[in-house]
A and B are shown apart, each in its own frame.
Chain A
Amino acid sequence: MILAEILAEAPARAAAGDILLIGHDQTQGIVAALQARSAPVGWGVIGLPSGGSPVVATPSGIRLDPTIEAGLRSRIRPDTLCISTIAGNAHNVLAVMATEPPFDFRMPGKDAPLMPEAEPIPYTTVRSSFRQILHEGDLSMLYATSAAVPELRYHIESPPPLRDEALIRARMDPYVLARHPEARVADAALRLKMWRLHSLLFAEACEALGITVVPAPPAAMDPDAYLKPDYAHPTSSTHANEAYDALVADQIERLVR
């Protein structure tokens, strides 16, 4: 299923003062939470989950696929509040499971000791590597969407990771575990650092684009910033649940007010 088909199925909303969420995994859950309180909200998915890229290179830079861009534009009214929920899972793809050999790094301003058995990698190396991966992937979608939708005002930070390794493993897709029986969940502190770095790189991109980041709701996080188990997705180790989406919906409502 591609975006054009989704848009064809879902009639464009013409309501004044409505909200358009543009993004991926988290989008539908937040939309449902907003709709539950009768918010005039629409949504669009800019990814093509079954393959293909929504981003195309043009002489003037990267742009959204014209079909997707047209679909999004058709849903935007002068007073539509456009919010990005683009991507947000790259840190999990890269680091929810431990690498071989394990590695670790320090974030700026943090003095916590590194894992003793891990290969220490300087922060600027990890940052440069992750930035390149995002630049070629998820951030390119943010750039392209911002070009197509200059009205994009906010970006929703992705949920933080769970602390509990057993909980992550319990909710990991059985297919992945069966295919990689030797894989183990990465150290919790490393996963948290990867999420923080992911958020930092998105925040820098958003600042350059004039987009405000809406941080993950503090109520869903424990004192160390891990996702509280109460907000863990029932079947996914890398997503948050409906209660978390409701907290984000609260944040969006506050933005609207």
Chain B
Amino acid sequence: MKHPYEQAPPYTKWRHAVAAPATEAVDPGIGFPFRLSRRDRVATAGSCFAQHVGRALRGRGFSHYVTETAHPFVANVAGPFAYEQFSARYGNVYTSRQMLQLVQRALGLFEPADRAWTGPDGHWYDPFRPTVQPGGFLSVEELETDRRRHLACVRTLLDGLDYLVFTLGLTEAWMSATDGAAYPLCPGVAAGAFDPAQHLFVNLEVDEIVADVEAFLALITAINPSARLILTVSPVALAATAENRHVLASNTYSKAVLRVAAEMLARRNPGTIGYFPSYEIITGIHSRGGYVLDDLRSVSEAGVAQVMASFARNATRADEPDPADAPAPHDPVALRQAALFKDLSGLTAAECDEAMLGA
């Protein structure tokens, strides 16, 4: 009788699957449980690596489901104001706890006591997305108005998505001592003021992350039963650790915890959660560090392309035509508005001409 390894496929063997192939031929995405259609509405959230995912999905003709877009009047600053980085304007969602609370807030199940932070400019910042509004809000009222619209857009997103790609980024987090509200950034970094009595450091463990993810997925599927979750682990290393140890050790621990949690979640929920190994594609030794930039944290465009190529092979329907080359659908309102601006510009220019002719 042959032993199990003799019958195992080549991709299970390091020499065949990692050591021998060219870097770009190493593809750990094999066996991914879902096949996405380009008609599926794919939402994105998570740490900064998820921004690459959303952009790459759009570039490959997938429907990156975005429910919070910039008003056409301010579309020229959509990027700096964090529109369309993700499916809604929540900014980076680094931890499972932050994501759980975002879903709870969108569904009206949680309202953090911490409502607004002030910045060095005297303006107001949202503690749960402090970087989405450069220059801040003029008042708490303006902030609250924007947040109500934001959370309504998140609710729409949860109702309508087919897949949520969520990138687990960090285990380390800061939370409110009052109600456990999880902040994306330590108070005082982008805005607010750090208070050791009010702001507690936590380093989430595997069982906490598993519980968080299962809890937010349960909330989503309660209103959207067909929703599926695609988990990835961010390959971007910690910028800093709040533990008193070397950041490299903290980074290894953090990524290990996230990877174990993702594995457990996928095994426990095979019909609703799939793990996609973008972390392995970027950080695996086969890449010899070639997919990170000089800061040894940021992922290169080549790395993102490699992840998305694997995603296309292993997680999408091969029998679908690639609509990437199809012309973008015209937005009749945007076209009408652009034509109006053009004509008004022409009108003022014509009035200039009149003035000149009278000189």
Contact = CB atoms under 8 A, between A and B. Distances in A.
Do A and B share a complex?
Answer: yes
Nearest to B142: A122
B337 A122 contact: no
Contacts of A126: 73-74
Interface residues of B, number: 43
B348 interface: yes
A45 B345 contact: no
Given A97-B344, A122-B142, A49 B71 contact: no
B352 A183 contact: no
B142 A100 contact: no
- Chain B contact residues: over half helix, strand or loop, or mixed? helix
Interface stretch (A67-75, A149-157, A172-180): A172-180
B333 interface: yes
Interface string B47-88: 000000000000000000000001111101100110000000
Interface string B117-136: 00000010000000001111
A99 B81 CA distance: 20
Contact of B142 (A92, A96, A123): A123
A120 B149 contact: yes
Contacts of B138: 106, 108, 122-124
Given A122-B146, A124-B135, A50 B337 contact: no
B337 A239 contact: no
B77 A180 contact: no
Given A24-B352, A25-B355, A92-B344, A124 B123 contact: yes
A43 interface: yes
B356 A1 contact: yes
A253 interface: no
Contacts of B341: 93-94
Interface string A190-216: 000000000000000000000000000
A40 interface: no
Contact of A121 (B71, B143, B348, B356): B71
Interface stretch (A76-84, A127-135, A220-228): A127-135
A6 interface: yes
B343 A47 contact: no
A119 interface: yes
Interface in A159-188: 173, 175-176, 179-180, 182-183
A176 B73 contact: no
B89 to A, nearest CB: 11
Contacts of A251: none
Contacts of B348: 25, 89, 92-93, 238
A45 B356 contact: yes
19 contacts: A6-B356, A25-B348, A28-B355, A29-B355, A45-B359, A47-B352, A49-B349, A100-B337, A106-B142, A119-B71, A122-B133, A124-B123, A126-B74, A129-B77, A173-B347, A176-B347, A179-B339, A183-B340, A238-B348
Interface of B: 70-74, 76-77, 80-81, 123, 133-139, 142-143, 145-146, 149, 333, 336-337, 339-341, 343-345, 347-353, 355-359
